[in-house]
DNA sequence: CTTAAATAAGATAAATATATCCGAATTAAA
DNA sequence: TTTAATTCGGATATATTTATCTTATTTAAG
C-alpha cells in the first residue's frame, strides 16, 4: 500500500507531534527508537518532510524536529503520504494502466475506484492530533 | 497496491481466460502484446500461475497457456493476487507493524481494517469470467 | 572562542523488484 | 525422424527502494 519510507514518515510525524505537544524537540535517533526504523534513513525522510513544510527543524545543540502546535490538528495523513509517495495512490489505476477512466476503464476500474475513494477519505480526515493522542493515551502503538 | 508482477498476472489471466473461452491457447508473446508487458517477465509470471494450478500450460508446437473453461468462473482475483503477492494485502498492517491487532493496534488499525476488508471482498467476489466478458464486449481494456 | 550537539547533503552500499537471455526439454505435424 | 514451435529453468542484468556512511554546516552553551 504505502512504501516503507511512507510508513516511517507517518509514524515519525505522529511521534514528533506527540513530542511537540509537550514542547520537546526530537532527534532522528529518538524517532528511530520510537518507531523502530533505521536512523539514517529516517533522517533522510525527515528532510523531505521539512522541505515540504510539514515539520520544522532546528540545527545545532538543543535542535531537532518539531511540528508547530497550531499545525498538528491541521496536518492530515494525506499530506504526509503525498509528500513521500506522491498521488498515485489517489489517481493510479489498480492494474497499472497509464490511462484508466470512465471512457477507457481497466477491468476493475469501478470497483477499485470505490476503495480508492474510501482510502482517500480516510487519509484526508485523519489528522496528526488524533493519532498523537492515541499514542499518548496508550490506545495505539508505533512499534511492536 | 499490487506489485507490477501482480498487475501483469491479473491482466494476463483475463486475456488467457478470454482466449480459452474460444478454445484458443496463447503464448507469452501474445499475452505481452495484449497487456503491454515485457515478454520474458510475463513468461516467468505465467510459470508461477501454472505451478499454482490456476493456469494450464502445454509445451511444444501448438502449445501455450489456457484456463480450463469450467474454472474460469471459479477463479477469483484474490487467488491470483495471493499467488503473486502473497497475503500481506489481507493481513498486513497499514503502517508495517509486525504485530498489529485489536490488542496492540497501530494508530490507523481500525480505519485501515475497514478498507482492507472491502478490498478483500472485492477481490474475492470478482472472477475471471466477468472480467473476460468485459474485455470481449469492449467495456473494459487491458492496455491503453 | 571553543566545544559539543545537532541537521543537511551527497556519495555509496545492500536488498529487492523488474526485466532479459540462453540452453534444455517437450511436442505436434510434416 | 526431422523440424519448428513451444514451455521450463537457471543465470544474468538493470532499476528502484531501502539503508548506511562521511563530511560540512549550524547553533547554543560554557
pLDDT profile of chain B (144 residues), mean per 10: 98 98 98 98 98 98 97 98 96 96 97 96 98 98 97
CA A134 to C1' D23 (Å) is 39
Enumerate residue ranges in chain A where pLDDT < 50. none
**pLDDT, tens only, A30-54:** 999 999 999 999 999 999 999 999 9
Chain A positions with Cβ closer than 8 Å to B: 1-2, 4, 7, 10-11, 14, 77, 89, 92, 94-100, 104-109, 111-112, 114-115, 118-119, 122, 126, 131, 134-135, 139-144
> Average pLDDT over chain A, rounded to whole?
97
CA B56/CA B30 separation, integer angstroms:
16
Q: Please list, residue by residue across B9-22, b when 16 or more beta carbons sit within 10 angstroms of its beta carbon and e when fewer do.
A: bbbbbbbbbbbbbe
pLDDT of residue B107: 98
CB-CB neighbors (< 8 A) of B103 in chain A: none
pLDDT of B15-47, one tens digit each? 999 999 999 999 999 999 999 999 999 999 999
Domains of chain A: 4-137 (1.10.10.10)
What are the C-alpha distances in Å from A22 to residues A4, A54, B142? 28, 18, 53
CA-to-C1' distance for B60 and C24, Å?
Answer: 13
Amino acid at each position: 500500500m504505502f512504501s516503507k519510507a511512507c510508513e516511517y514518515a507517518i509514524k515519525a510525524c505522529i511521534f514528533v507531534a506527540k513530542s511537540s505537544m509537550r514542547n520537546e524537540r526530537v532527534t532522528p535517533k529518538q524517532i528511530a527508537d520510537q518507531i523502530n526504523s533505521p536512523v539514517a534513513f529516517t533522517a533522510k525522510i525527515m528532510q523531505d518532510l521539512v522541505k515540504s513544510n510539514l515539520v520544522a527543524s532546528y540545527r545545532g545543540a538543543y535542535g531537532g524536529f518539531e511540528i508547530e502546535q497550531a499545525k498538528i490538528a491541521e496536518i492530515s495523513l494525506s499530506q504526509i503520504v503525498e509528500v513521500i509517495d506522491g498521488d498515485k495512490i489517489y489517481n493510479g489505476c489498480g492494474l497499472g494502466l497509464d490511462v484508466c477512466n470512465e471512457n477507457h476503464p481497466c477491468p476493475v476500474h469501478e470497483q477499485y475506484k470505490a476503495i480508492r475513494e474510501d482510502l482517500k477519505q480516510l487519509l484526508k480526515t485523519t489528522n496528526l492530533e488524533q493519532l498523537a493522542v492515541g499514542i499518548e493515551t496508550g490506545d495505539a502503538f508505533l512499534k511492536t
